[in-house]
Amino acid sequence: MDQLQKFKDYLSLKGLKNTSQRLVILETFLSSESHYSTEDLYLKLRIEHPKIGYATVHRTLKLFAECGIAAERNFGDGQTRFEPVHGEEHHDHLVCTRCGLIIEFEEPQIEKLQESVAATHQFTIENHRLELYGLCSICTAADL
Amino acid sequence: MDQLQKFKDYLSLKGLKNTSQRLVILETFLSSESHYSTEDLYLKLRIEHPKIGYATVHRTLKLFAECGIAAERNFGDGQTRFEPVHGEEHHDHLVCTRCGLIIEFEEPQIEKLQESVAATHQFTIENHRLELYGLCSICTAADL
DNA sequence: AAGATATTGAAAACAATTTTCAGAAATTAG
DNA sequence: CTAATTTCTGAAAATTGTTTTCAATATCTT
Ligand SMILES: [Mn+2]
Ligand SMILES: [Mn+2]
Ligand SMILES: [Zn+2]
Ligand SMILES: [Zn+2]
Residue type, A59: R
CATH 3.40.50.620 matches B3-84: no
**According to the model, what pLDDT value does residue B88 have?**
73
Q: What is the mean pLDDT of chain B?
A: 95
Higher pLDDT, A2 or A137: A137
Looking at chain B, the domain(s) classified CATH 3.30.1490.190 span: 92-142
The DSSP 8-state label assigned to residue A121 in this structure reads T
CATH class of A92-142: alpha beta
Interface contact flag, B117 A127, Cβ < 8 Å: no
The nucleotides of chain D lying under 7 Å from a protein CB are 6-12, 16-21, 26-29
Beta-strand ranges (E) seen in chain A are 36-37, 70-74, 80-84, 92-96, 102-105, 124-135
Pairing of strands B70-74, B80-84: antiparallel
Looking at chain A, the domain(s) classified CATH 1.10.10.10 span: 3-84
Q: Which residues from chain A sit within 8 angstroms of residue B113, using beta carbons?
A: 107, 109-110, 113
Dist CA A99 CA B36 (whole Å):
31
**According to the model, what pLDDT value does residue A88 have?**
74
Q: From the list B103, B105, B123, which residue is nearest A134 (CB)?
A: B123
The per-residue pLDDT for range A43-85, each reduced to its tens digit, is 999 999 999 999 999 999 999 999 999 999 999 999 999 999 9
Pairing of strands B124-135, A124-135: antiparallel
pLDDT above 90: residue A144: no
- Least confident range from A1-5, A102-106, B18-22, B120-124: namely A1-5
Across B22-30, average pLDDT: 98
Question: How close, in Å, is residue B83 to chain A by CA atoms?
Answer: 17
Interface contact flag, A128 B129, Cβ < 8 Å: no
Higher pLDDT, B132 or B144: B132
Q: Which residues make beta-bridge pairs with A93?
A: A104, A131
The per-residue pLDDT for range B35-93, each reduced to its tens digit, is 999 999 999 999 999 999 999 999 999 999 999 999 999 999 999 999 999 887 899 99
- Strand D contact with B50 (CB < 7 A): no
Closest CA to B84 of B75, B100, B73: B73
Compute the half-sphere exposure of residue A51: CA atoms within 13 Å on the CB side of its CA: 4
**According to the model, what pLDDT value does residue B144 have?**
77
**According to the model, what pLDDT value does residue B89 have?**
84
**According to the model, what pLDDT value does residue B1 have?**
81
DSSP chain B: --HHHHHHHHHHHHT----HHHHHHHHHHHT----EEHHHHHHHHHHH-TT--HHHHHHHHHHHHHTTSEEEEE-SSS-EEEEE--SS---EEEEETTT--EEEE--HHHHHHHHHHHHHTT-EEEEEEEEEEEE-HHHHHHT-
* Ligand with smallest separation from the Cα of A100: 3
Task: Please count the residues of chain B.
Answer: 144
**Which residues, 6+ apart, have CB-to-CB distance to A50 below 8 Å?**
none
Q: Which residues from chain B sit within 8 angstroms of residue A120, using beta carbons?
A: 105
**According to the model, what pLDDT value does residue A24 have?**
98
Dist CA B67 CA B61 (whole Å):
10
Question: How close, in Å, is residue A50 to chain B by CA atoms?
Answer: 31
| Chain A residues within 8 Å of chain B (Cβ atoms) | 74, 76, 94, 96-97, 103, 105, 107, 109-110, 113-114, 117-118, 120-137, 140
Dist CA B31 CA B23 (whole Å):
12
pLDDT above 90: residue A32: no
pLDDT above 90: residue A89: no
By C1' distance from the Cα of B11, the closest nucleotide is: D7
The per-residue pLDDT for range A104-124, each reduced to its tens digit, is 999 999 999 999 999 999 999
Q: Considering all CA atoms of chain A, what is the largest pairwise distance in Å, rounded to the nearest integer?
A: 57
Residue type, A19: T
Task: Please count the residues of chain A.
Answer: 144
pTM of the entire predicted model: 0.91
Identify the closest residue of chain B to A128 by CA–CA distance: B132
